[in-house]
Structure 1
Amino acid sequence: MAVFRILLLIVAAFAITACGSSKFKTYDGPEVTQIQVHKADRKMYLLHNEKVLKKYNVSLGFTPEGHKQFEGDGKTPEGVYTITHRNPNSEFYLSLGVSYPNAQDRAFAAAQGKPPGGDIFIHGGPNRKVTKRDWTAGCVAVTDRQMETIYAMVKPGTPILILP
């Protein structure tokens, strides 16, 4: 009987540790075929064709109005881009790379003699207190918990449409 109790305790211990939270969720629902960010409304939609699968409130760059043109302008890009990669070791919890700058963005910035900037992501929150609604350097931010779901649902190659 003592051996059975020890075995039961070991199984229970493994079961408890298996219930721990992981930032790497799984998703087996409909494919996300497009992401839309509506900057004016501070909303992001994950879509399967025309159907909205998920909707999120977002934070944008610290100067959110207008299209990102140069490094350091604090604007979130506008236009059609692609999710380039997943970053499981992001400074901002988890993140998905956005293909900004594209050829047109680079050409415009070069014509002005300035760098276009880069490193635009959809990401989780910072490891510090945020006092402003729009606080990123040009990225699209959600909560860490929301980012876990987004990270599981969105694959590299997914188009992202960022609207004014």
Structure 2
Amino acid sequence: MRISSIFTILLALALALPVVVRSEPGPASLYADRLVVIKSQKRLFLYREGTLLKTYKVALGKKMGPKTRQGDCRTPEGSYRIDGRRRDSRFYKALHISYPNADDERNAHSTGCLPGGNIEIHGLPKGYEDLAAIHTRHNWTSGCIAVSNQEIDELWQLVPDGTPIEIRP
């Protein structure tokens, strides 16, 4: 094979390389480093280094006020972390929140109750995907934070495990 032919092949390969799509996540600068939920606004805010990246409208627990015990259908208030993710939830996908924290445990036990757990940011229940446009009209969860399936796909990509989440009244 002639040198000019080899050079032509190598040049063609070099020009094709930038076209290859990367399958790994984008740069860390695209990830959220803090989440804030303001329950009174029914909004979830994603931040990176103090800059607002995205806002989501959410549905919350059926009952108002801070979560105080297992089964009260309230969304907790306080500081937590995203501590895991589930593809096998009864919802489309879910990001698990580290509720209960030490304060939640202490407060619940002081009243003789269990604090509960399994609080998540999740998509819609299987079979209810068509309600994405209207699911936030009413608070319907048992204490979780619900978004559409398309939104939980975005959050799944933008929010790494360990990200702090603050849930405010």
TM-score normalised to the size of structure 2? 0.77
Paired with 2:60 and 2:26, the residues of 1 have a C-alpha distance of: 26
Corresponding residue to 1:150 among 149, 155, 165? 155
**How much does 1:112 deviate?**
0.8
How big is each residue's C-alpha offset from its partner over 1:3-48, in whole Å with a ceiling of 9 and x where there is no partner?
xxxxxxxxxxxxxxxxxxxxxx955452211000010000001110
The structure that has the greater radius of gyration is 2
**How much does 1:119 deviate?**
0.2
Counterpart residue identity of residue 81, structure 2: T
Task: Determine the structure 2 residue equivalent to 1:48.
Answer: 48
How big is each residue's C-alpha offset from its partner over 1:106-130, in whole Å with a ceiling of 9 and x where there is no partner?
1111111111110000000112557
> Secondary structure, in 3 states, of the residue corresponding to 2:152?
helix
Task: Determine the structure 2 residue equivalent to 1:114.
Answer: 113
Task: Determine the structure 1 residue equivalent to 2:70.
Answer: 71
- Deviation >6 Å, runs of 4+: none
- Count residues with an aligned counterpart: 139
What pairs with 1:90-101 in structure 2 (closer than 5 Å)?
90-101=89-100
How big is each residue's C-alpha offset from its partner over 1:133-164, in whole Å with a ceiling of 9 and x where there is no partner?
10111000000011000011111110001010
Q: In proportion to residue count, which structure has more helix?
A: 2
Paired with 2:26 and 2:150, the residues of 1 have a C-alpha distance of: 14
Paired with 1:78 and 1:151, the residues of 2 have a C-alpha distance of: 22
Paired with 1:27 and 1:93, the residues of 2 have a C-alpha distance of: 23
> Secondary structure, in 3 states, of the residue corresponding to 1:81?
strand
Percent identity at matched positions?
Answer: 38
Output the aligned Cα RMSD.
1.7
Structure 1 residue ranges without an equivalent (≥5): 1-24
Distance 1:146 1:91, change over 3 A: same
